[in-house]
Structure 1
Amino acid sequence: MAGSSAPWIGSAYLFLQSTCKTIALPALYESSQKKPCVFKALKLALADCTGSVNGVDMLKVHCSHPHLIVQLKFCKRENCRRFLRSYREGALQKSLQSHLQLSLAITTVPLEVELKAGSEHLDKMLKDEDRCLECIYREKPDRLPDEEITELEECLKSLMLHQSTNNNVAGKDCSPLKSPPQPYPPQGSSLPTQLTFIFQGQLFDNRTITPDDHQKFAKSVSKKWKQVARSLQKSCRALRDPVLDNLALEYEREGLYEQAYQMLLRFIQSEGKRATIARLVAALEENGLVSLAEELLGLHASEDCS
């Protein structure tokens, strides 16, 4: 494919279309108010699927109703391979839907996605990963990033830096958390699958679940612990219904706190470093437990520290 001394560079086009008649992605992107929100969702979803904010570059976003078309540039074969696997498994589509939903404050954003490299429709050959890589490698980028893309990138970086600074200041004002014991993965030991996520229009680091999160969850979730578990079980085999039924019976005498605590413990032990706050917050939000999600994210930190 590429010579050992030559960099691996390829290009592809990602086609996005909302299947909801009331949501037109091109119109949203053409709106000066909504454009940064849509761009942010695209950027974060691409970071999720490649494991890095620099895993893939966006060169241009085309508005061609009803499609939003994103021209992508890959500078490393391995990043492109991660992207293809995420796309094939549906993880990219889910991440896009989630980020668009949170960024635009919309209940749901159902999407259809399509991937092309030149005249090749890659959706028809996704099982042949090497062939897809070859097609993408053959299509060299024909442009540098648009000025508009560069400006949006800078705005997003500024927002993330501002958010990170605010989080650090809030952490200094409050009592510091002790180092989490096992079974909690050490904070910062490695990057989680999803680097950041958006909740109520704010950007948060996708850290692992801490003991403090665990206790707050068990204390406040009450009877809805099973509903939250069923939301988590979509991506966690350790929380299948028979397991939940056994937990309910085994800890019936101890009450709802212990049942909820043990359920989340199973999730943490099973998922390890993938037991992230973003997954828990999404499950809480799905079941109407927004105030608990806010508490876990420290949105009431100023009240707690006063």
Structure 2
Amino acid sequence: MDRSNGKKMTANCVDDLWAGCAFLFLQSNDPDLLSAYKDPDRKLNLFKVIRLTLSDTAGGLDGYEILKLHDVDPRLGVEVKFVDEAVCRRFLESYSSGCVQQMFVQHASRILPGAVDLAMQTEMKAGDKILDECLDDQELCLHHIHMIQPVRLPDDEVCQLEQQLRNLVFSDRRAPHTAQPLACKQEAPSIPSNCFLFQEKVFDDRQLTPADHQRFATNVGQDWKRVGRALQRTCRALKRPAIENLAYEYERDGLYEQAYQLLNRFIQAEGKAARLGRLVSALEENKLIGLAEIMLDIPPKE
């Protein structure tokens, strides 16, 4: 098959809006994700897991949107529209490395009742093309996704779920103000020097611990480089070419070891100044909000 036209097509879409669709199929037995989707009490939590997984593995909230959730018994299908080739490429890299499945399991264990030991299978398709069969050829995968042009807007159910998530965030942000109405008339108190602010809540800015170190390395996946570039602005030990050197040196050891060594370099260089607030700020900068919540041990919203 001659794929040169496909490559040219994606390259020429810089000036126009690059777009395409992929279908992510999810299946598990305990709990059954399709049953969770059909359960009104669990559907929103499941949708939140999907949104957090996409955010963490596509590099943020932009460049894609969920169009529809499909009942494809025994699997749950997630139809995703991509409008940014770089975002789609990043998601494909995450999927190929197993990061999508890993992040889904981690978020589900925090948010979805009964998903502590979730074992799941995934498959990704573009039309009738099974992308799992050609993940080693990213250009071909991009071509297949680009050939499936989105012809729909997000359906009513997805719009309602998105609105419910926004309402949860809005009510959570307003709660402290409604609990103390008198404070609304006063200026916000200054944040103590030993604390930092995350999502309008104050956290202790303590030194990073071995538990933090392991949690970061376990959860960050292939995004470790982006976090490292954010940290390097205030850490000379991570200036170029330190991050690429770490990637090369520990390539055979996998993403966990690369991420572990990145944070190890940061902690060794910064000493007592290697604090949780700096790491969370780097995660926020890269829109890895789900991972920041994991680092801060923030319980999921019911």
Corresponding position: 1:15 with 2:6: no
User: In structure 2, what is the equivalent of residue 144 of structure 1?
Assistant: 153
Correspondence for 2:260 among 211, 225, 237: 237
Q: Distance in 1 between matches of 2:163 and 2:289?
A: 26
Corresponding position: 1:45 with 2:45: no
Q: How does 1:1-306 map to 2 (within 5 A)?
A: 1=9, 3-4=12-13, 5-18=15-28, 21-106=29-114, 107-166=116-175, 175-178=189-192, 205=199, 213-215=204-206, 226=210, 229-234=213-218, 235=256, 236-238=259-261, 265=274, 273-274=282-283, 279=291, 282=294
Q: Which stretch of structure 1 is more off in the superposition, 67-76 or 156-165?
A: 156-165
Q: Distance in 1 between matches of 2:50 and 2:39?
A: 16
Aligned partner letter, 1:213: D
> How many percent identity over aligned positions?
28
Relative contact order (alpha carbons < 8 A, sep ≥ 6): 1 or 2 greater?
2
Q: Distance in 2 between matches of 1:129 and 1:170?
A: 51
Identify if the C-alpha distance between structure 1 residues 180 and 213 changes in structure 2 by more than 3 Å, giving closer, same or farther: closer
Q: Distance in 2 between matches of 1:277 and 1:117?
A: 28
Q: What number of residue pairs does the alignment pair up?
A: 242
User: In structure 1, what is the equivalent of residue 250 of structure 2?
Assistant: none
Q: Distance in 2 between matches of 1:179 and 1:49?
A: 33
Aligned partner letter, 2:119: P
Q: Distance in 1 between matches of 2:272 and 2:27?
A: 37
Deviations 1:114-151 (A, max 9, x none): 11111211122222221111110001124332211111
Deviations 1:57-102 (A, max 9, x none): 1111112222111111111212211211222222222221222222
Gap runs ≥5 in structure 2: 1-8, 219-255
TM-score, normalising length from structure 2? 0.64
Q: What secondary structure, in the 3-state scheme, does the structure 2 residue paired with 1:53 have? A: coil
Q: What secondary structure, in the 3-state scheme, does the structure 2 residue paired with 1:71 have? A: strand
